[in-house]
Amino acid sequence: MPPKVKITKKMVADASFEVVRANGHENLNARTISEYLGCSTQPVLYNYKTVDEIRETAYEIADNFHTSCIMPKEDDENPILALGLNYVRFGNEEKNLFRFLFQTDKFGGMDVSSLMGNPELSDIMNVMAEGLGCNEEDAREMFLTFFCVVHGLASLLANNSMEYDEEQSKKMLENVFFGMLASRKRR
């Protein structure tokens, strides 16, 4: 008799991410994970106490994946615009993950300023401050405006059967970006 395949915690975590990515967070449960892994639900629930614990793990993996997708490359001419376009592209290409990360009330009870103060945004704030030639506080203020536009566009694409137009998106984000710079210079 061949040895049984051992389902590890990492396998369950990776499968939960893939289930969300392919089928949406609404379909994340022990049964769909076990189907993905080709096993019964017993090993899934052996590795995690609850489906909520699995959901948290899937969220962490999705969040790390999202961050790796949106961060600008070293050779990007304008890192801030690249960051925004990458975010919009993520909303268009990874609809299920986008909805899981940003439209499941994970930030319920927070105001937008609190969200911007999240320490996990420090890499993004560094890109903003460096690209704008300003301090972190000014970068956070401008990021808030830029983020609202970028997030709105990404949300439209993630939730609707819209056609993604890279050039149109780029023009919109340039208008916002250069408008913010002009506004900052007038102060």
Kindly report, residue by residue over 93-106, the tens digit of the pLDDT.
999 999 999 988 76
pLDDT at 127: 74
Q: What separation in angstroms does the CA of 77 have from each of 82, 153, 160?
A: 8, 22, 30
Q: What is the pLDDT of residues 33-69, one digit of tens each?
A: 999 999 999 999 999 999 999 999 999 999 999 999 9
* pLDDT attached to residue 74: 86
The whole-number pLDDT of residue 107 equals: 66
Of 59, 11, 60, residue with least CA distance to 34: 11
pLDDT at 72 over 80: yes
pLDDT tens per residue, range 131-145 = 777 887 788 888 888
In angstroms, the CA 34 to CA 17 distance is 13
Task: Check residue 145 and give its pLDDT.
Answer: 86
What is the rounded average pLDDT of the residues 102-115? 74
In the three-class reduction of DSSP (H, G, I as helix; E, B as strand; rest coil), residue 67 is classed as: helix
Confidence of residue 4 (pLDDT cuts 50, 70, 90): low
d(CA 159, CA 91): 9
Name the amino acid, one letter, at 40: S
Q: What's the distance, Cα to Cα, between the start and end of the chain in Å?
A: 76
Query: Class assignment of domain 1-66?
Result: mainly alpha
Whole-number average pLDDT of the chain: 88
High-pLDDT (> 70) share of the chain, %: 91
Residue ranges of the domains in the chain? 1-66, 71-187
